[in-house]
Amino acid sequence: PRGAGRTDDGAVTIGGIAVDELADTYGTPLFVYDENDFRSRCADMQAAFGPHGRVHYASKAFLSLEVARWVQSEGLSLDVCTGGELAIALRADFPAERIAMHGNNKSEAELDYALESRIGHIVVDSMFEIERLDRLAGARGMVADVLIRVTPGVEAHTHEFISTAHEDQKFGFALAGGIAMNAIREVFASDNLRLVGLHSHIGSQIFEIDGFELAAHRVLGLLADVVAEFGVEKTKQIEVLDLGGGLGISYIPSEDPPPVADLAASLVEIVRRESERLGLPMPSIAVEPGRAIAGPAGVTVYRVGTIKDVQLDGAATRRYVSVDGGMSDNIRTVLYDAEYDVRLANRVSNAQAVVCRVVGKHCESGDIVVRDCWLPVDLMPGDLLVVGATGAYCYSMSSRYNMAPRAAVAAVHDGASRLMLRRETVEDFLSLEVQP
Ligand code: LLP
């Protein structure tokens, strides 16, 4: 996070607090979020897009009641994609009109919950869903605001599992073959749905802004088709162009993501030019960053348990450093070959650095937190390691594998810390058993 540092004794500090103090207070493994860092990324994102922007924080990256309150007080909107995320947002008193709901397979109950809660809009993803939402809104005597998710056919240069706008995947309506246009006709024909925007999301952890630019051009091309078929007056109700999330962050020092201001300036310019040409008022440009806000704001603190040198072919050895968490709190390394920066956190060592692999405590050899890194040769059991930029998609994708309790999550703010989510206990597991 911004403002991380070291104490005079050499311990890493986050938000002005030494990591060893946090570990003593809350135990390990521990997620620590720097509130100032999180909030400043919200504010930067908002400032970059200016009055044309509507920034929705993608809550799938990480959500808790307190995080929802940070997002709300920074003036952002919120994306949810399940009834669970919606429930947390509402419990945090997040204003319903600033919530949007996504998902390729929202259940009837989830759609109805969204309607009942009067959230801002729902992003529809299939013909079945348009029919379903039309019926549910009709039954409630409501008109639901919707965005249509289109698949612009852009190949984002990212991991296959997190790239979403090429044609052969499950999300959205293809631009090709007039599929998206059919969806627009369907929504226009409904008395219970009001089309207020078009949506595209090309993937995640993206470093090149040209993918976003291309997606914007293609979505604007669809808008031009709408003008051609329905006329300017009717098309004016499409007042939001949502270009999704996906802006990449730096996990390791060599990675250099593009500044959000560059992306924003370019998108605003493209949308301004094209909407003018079509004789339409300037639409709002929505974006849905998750990782770019939450990722750098969070770190994971682990305690080293054992260290083992394993003989490889030839004379080489590999040092395995086992920590007290692993794939249950960070599945990203094994799932996406993700890379992370890891540091000794409780002291400074001037010892020589050796190549290490940081692994977890789970019962499989794929349980790797950091595949290759340099750590001091005098690293000892009991030392603390801090893994950076784990604020997005780590806790939210965590599991109870091996009945490892989910880690605690603390927040730091100007030299003070507090617990946001307590560590899970065996009692929590037992609470699900029907016959305890
Ligand atoms: N909007 C939509 C419709 C999305 O599907 C996503 C992410 C976002 C926004 C937020 O994207 P972001 O700004 O965070 O890149 N578990 C993967 C990431 C999956 C992202 C899924 N959708 C990971 O750990 O890298």
Q: Which whole-number Å values give the CA distances from 178 to 38, 104, 350, in the listed order?
A: 40, 19, 63
In this prediction the ipTM stands at 0.99
Residue 246 annotated as binding site: yes
Cα of 290 vs centre of ligand 1, distance in Å, is 6
Test site for ligand 1: of 202, 291, 330, most ligand atoms within 8 A of the Cβ: 291
**Sign of the dihedral through C-alpha 334, 335, 339, 342:** negative
Q: Is 325 in the pocket of ligand 1 (CB under 6 A)?
A: no
Fold designation for 59-294: TIM Barrel (3.20.20)
CATH number for the domain running over 5-32+297-430? 2.40.37.10
Q: Are 322 and 308 in contact (CB under 8 A)?
A: yes
Q: Is 201 in the pocket of ligand 1 (CB under 6 A)?
A: yes
Active site residues: 363
Torsion of CA 373, 379, 384, 390, to 10 degrees: 0
Question: What interhelical angle do 108-116 and 83-91 show, nearest 10?
Answer: 20
Q: Is 245 in the pocket of ligand 1 (CB under 6 A)?
A: yes
Give the pLDDT of the chain (436 residues) as one tens digit per residue: 887 999 999 999 999 999 999 999 999 999 999 999 999 999 999 999 999 999 999 999 999 999 999 999 999 999 999 999 999 999 999 999 999 999 999 999 999 999 999 999 999 999 999 999 999 999 999 999 999 999 998 877 665 555 565 677 899 999 999 999 999 999 999 999 999 999 999 999 999 999 999 999 999 999 999 999 999 999 999 999 999 999 999 999 999 999 999 999 999 999 999 999 999 999 999 999 999 999 999 999 999 999 999 999 888 899 999 999 999 999 999 999 999 999 999 999 999 999 999 999 999 999 999 999 999 999 999 999 999 999 999 999 999 999 999 999 999 999 999 999 999 999 999 999 998 7
- Protein residue whose Cα sits closest to atom 5 of ligand 1: 201
What does pTM read for this prediction? 0.97
Test site for ligand 1: of 41, 57, 60, most ligand atoms within 8 A of the Cβ: 60
The domain spans of the chain are 5-32+297-430, 59-294
